[in-house]
């Protein structure tokens, strides 16, 4: 009986010892946490303050750079605007005494003419519906009003075109002297096919806005006819 009690007491002591040990461990852990948590919190707060300060510095730097770029862009735009206005004024003044049509004729010839040093620049207006080859009954007709520029001599060449009003033209590659550009045995059907092909193969050309004495000199040589 006594031995049984002793065994029971031993078991109770063991249980009490284990419980005490668990409580001491928990207390020690709690004590460590109590000491550690404030320290970790302080370190976290300090780190966060440093990060926020660095972020503020970065944002301030971005703002300074953006402001600097904006100022440079405004300055460049102002300078460019001044140049553009100046150039426009000079261009307008240099050709102010001439009509848009005269300037157009001179610019087109300067860019596309075979001979730049013509003695005169003849301008002929051809109405819509007129035949490309006046000497052929089977000739196709112009689908729109066109203008033909020629020099005083055959060697000067010719340019036949219609304007689009946007700095471009539609060029018709019409021969100035048909008898020199078609075979002797050319039939009416051949002429019809040939002239129709000229209409369907016009070329869109952008004309350079040339300025200066070359344009003025050529304008002075214009001889306009209906």
3-class DSSP string for 37-70: HHHHHHHHHHHHHHHHHHHHHHHHHHHHHHHHHH
DSSP code, position 178: G
Going by C-alpha positions, the residue among 148, 168, 164, 145 that lies closest to residue 156 is: 148
How crowded is residue 141: how many other Cβ atoms within 10 Å of its Cβ?
A: 14
Q: What is the three-class DSSP state of 127?
A: coil
pLDDT in tens, 161-217: 999 999 999 999 999 888 877 888 889 999 999 999 999 999 999 999 988 899 999
pLDDT in tens, 5-63: 444 444 444 443 444 444 444 444 444 444 445 565 565 566 666 667 666 666 666 56
pTM: 0.58
Residue written as token pair 């052929």: 136
């Amino acid at each position: 009986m006594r031995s049984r009690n002793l065994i029971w007491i031993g078991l109770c002591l063991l249980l009490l010892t284990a419980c005490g040990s668990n409580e001491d461990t928990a207390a020690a852990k709690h004590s460590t946490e109590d000491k550690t948590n404030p320290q970790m919190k302080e370190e976290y707060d300090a780190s966060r303050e440093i990060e926020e300060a660095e972020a503020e510095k970065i944002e301030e730097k971005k703002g300074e750079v953006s402001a600097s770029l904006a100022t440079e862009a405004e300055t460049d735009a102002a300078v460019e605007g001044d140049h553009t206005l100046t150039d426009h004024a000079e261009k307008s003044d240099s050709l102010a005494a001439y009509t848009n049509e005269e300037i157009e004729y001179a610019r087109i010839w300067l860019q596309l003419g075979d001979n730049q040093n013509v003695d005169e620049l003849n301008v002929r207006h051809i109405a819509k519906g007129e035949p490309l080859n006046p000497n052929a009954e089977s000739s196709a007709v112009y689908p729109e009003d066109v203008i033909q520029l020629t020099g005083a001599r055959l060697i000067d060449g010719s340019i036949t075109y219609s304007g689009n009003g946007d700095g471009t033209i539609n060029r018709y590659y019409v021969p100035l002297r048909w008898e020199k550009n078609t075979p002797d045995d050319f039939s009416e059907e051949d002429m019809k096919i040939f002239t129709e092909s000229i209409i369907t193969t016009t070329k869109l050309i952008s004309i350079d806005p040339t300025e200066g004495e070359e344009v003025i000199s050529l304008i002075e040589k214009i001889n306009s006819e209906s």
